[in-house]
Amino acid sequence: SGEFYGYLEGGERASLDKSVSEVYARKLRHAYFACISYIDAQVGKIIDELERLGEADNTIIVVWGDHGWHLGEHGFLGKHNLMNWSTHVPLIVRVPGLQKGKTESLVEFVDIYPTLCELCNLPFPKQLDGISFVPILKNLERKTKDKVYIQWEGGDNAVNWRYNYAEWEKGNRMLFDHQIDVEENKNRANDPSYKNIIKDMSSF
């Protein structure tokens, strides 16, 4: 990813142009995890301050990232693709009085706005594309969507609980079956046994 070039000089930059060594990948992972730890601490400070002010039970907190990040997976450093490492993002929602825990339900960024509207008893603007995921916050087993849509650089991407399917304007396609290939190492777009899956995912 070109974003790294702004931080590199001399030999490091030259080595990144060729390939990513495991030593350098570990260095980048260390820095990335340090950043996550730092942000986590800042969120904790915000929550502590809300509690000190007596506002913790009257405040909704939403923490999310706009993309995931490859740290050497598939020999890639960065975010610019439609693989799960890039498109699967963190989303943490803290709502006083609602359930705590983790869910496997699918949601999209466009769902955050209507969710906040419902939680705050505000009217829903007519132009919203998303839907509220408040039902999931009340019951972590609930689902509001079977698939989610992602778009990047001419690529259209549909993802459900099992498959990641993408196609580009030039006709390139990729399909990963997370049930047997969580790390997305084998593109199954040309496998005839997945013909009906591709038809379903591409129609989304």
pLDDT at 6 over 90: no
Confidence band for 16, pLDDT divided at 50, 70 and 90: low
pLDDT for 54 equals 97
pLDDT digits (tens, 9 = 90+) for 22-62: 777 788 889 889 999 999 999 999 999 999 999 999 999 99
pLDDT digits (tens, 9 = 90+) for 107-120: 999 999 999 999 99
pTM to 2 decimals? 0.85
Decide: 70 and 79 in contact? Cβ < 8 Å. Answer: yes
Q: What is the DSSP string of 101-145?
A: S-------GGGHHHHHHHHTT-PPPTT------HHHHH-TT--S-
